[in-house]
Copies of this chain bind each other. A is one copy, B any other.
C-alpha cells in the first residue's frame, strides 16, 4: 500500500496513486465549488520565517546548495512543515494584489524531520482551506470553514465525519478566572489527555505546570465537557462555578458556531472542550477532525482562528483555517475504495501484426477522441497474450480492429461487433476509481 523504501517517505503503487488522485480531485471540487481560489506556495521558506513558530523548529529540514560558489550569499532556507506559515507570508507579500476576505485552498507536500512511526511521515500531503481578512474577519467564517471541510470529507464516502470544536477564549478565560498563571503550559498539558490519560495529566498540571489541585481538578472537568447544543455546553461550563468576561465571550462564540452549524449540517460539528491544539497562534475557535469508526487513526486534521499570524507593520490579516492530512486519510480510503485497475486505460487495442500497428493506432485515436482512455498493445503477440496483458492491468475491454471490429469484455468473456466512432463504455468503466462505490482493499 504505502511503500517506504526510505523511512518516513512513503510512495504509492500506480493503482493507489489513482485513488489518491480521486481523493484530491474530489476535495478540490468541493473547495472550488465554495469559491476557494487555488494557491500554491514555494516549498521553501527562509529559516527566519519558519522559526517564528519556535516549538516546531526542531522538525525543520534545512536546504543548502551542495556546490555553492565560494562566498555565495544565499538566504538560509528550509522546507515548509505546514501550509499555514507559507500562506501567512504570501498574504503579507501580495496583499496589494488580493481582494479580501481572501479564500484559498492549498494542497501540497510538507516535510517534517520527525522520527517516523505508524501514521507519521517525514513527507506527506496536506489539504488546507483558509480565509483571511484585512484588519477584520467576520465571525461566520468560524462556522463556514469546518462545514466546508465536513462536506469535502463527506464526499469521500468513508463514513460520518465530526469536526470537534473548542474556543481558546473559553479555556483561557476559564483558566484566568481560576488564577492559573501558565495558560500555554496548561493548554499543552490538557492536549495530552488522549495520549496519557487524566491521572497523568492531573499530575503534570500540578507537578510541571504549577497548578494547585483545585485548579487542576477544574481544568480537567472543563476538558470533559462535550455537546452539540450551545445551551447544553454553556450550562455544563457554568456548573463548574467559574465566572469571567473572557470566558463569557468565548462561550458566546462557541455557542454561535454550534447553533449555526447545527442548523446547516446537524451532527457535523460538536463541542469538545479538551481540544487544545498545540500551536500558539490560535486565538478563537480551534478544530480537530475525527472519522467516525476510525477513531484509532486519531485526528486527521485541525485548525482554528488566528488573529495575528500575518502582520505587516500597521496591517493585520486575521484568518481562520482548517487542514487535513491526506496521506493519513488515504490509508483508510484505500480500505474502502480501491481502484479497479492500475492504469487509467479503459480499452486495450490489440495489434494483429506490427505491419498493421497503424490500424490499431487509428482505432485508438477514434476512441480517445471521445475521451475514452485507450492504449495499444505493446507487441503483436498472440491474442491470448495481449488479453492477459490487459487482464494483469485490470483493463476491462480489448478491441480487435479490422474489417469487422470486435470488442471483448474480458471480465465476462462477451465479445461483440462495435463501431469505434460511436461506441461508448458504461460510465462506471470510464474511471479506475469510483468514490461512491465501496471496494475493499485486498490483502
Interface residues in A, total, Cβ within 8 A? 84
Are B99's CB and A375's CB within 8 A?
no
Give Cα distance in the complex from A143 to B389, angstroms: 21
Q: Known pairs A5-B93, A35-B343, A61-B64. 19 more at Cβ < 8 A? A: A3-B94, A9-B42, A11-B90, A14-B98, A18-B38, A20-B40, A33-B373, A33-B374, A34-B374, A35-B375, A36-B344, A57-B66, A61-B63, A68-B113, A103-B343, A103-B375, A138-B379, A260-B358, A264-B361
CB-CB under 8 A from A374, the residues of chain B are 33-35
- Secondary structure at the A interface, as helix, strand, loop or mixed, is mixed
Give Cα distance in the complex from A14 to B95, angstroms: 12
CB distance from A264 to the nearest CB of B (A): 6
A345 to B, closest residue via Cβ: B35
CB distance from A123 to the nearest CB of B (A): 6
A221, CB-defined interface residue at 8 Å: no
With A99-B392, A103-B343, A371-B33 known as contacts, the answer to whether A66 contacts B62 (CB < 8 A) is yes
A240, CB-defined interface residue at 8 Å: no
74-100 of chain A: CB within 8 A of chain B: 75, 77-79, 90, 93-94, 97-99
CB-CB under 8 A from A67, the residues of chain B are 57-60, 113
With A6-B75, A357-B140, A392-B99 known as contacts, the answer to whether A37 contacts B14 (CB < 8 A) is yes
CB-CB under 8 A from A29, the residues of chain B are 371
CB distance from A188 to the nearest CB of B (A): 19
Interface string of A120-157 (1 = CB under 8 A from B): 00010000000001000010100000000000000000
Are A32's CB and B344's CB within 8 A?
yes
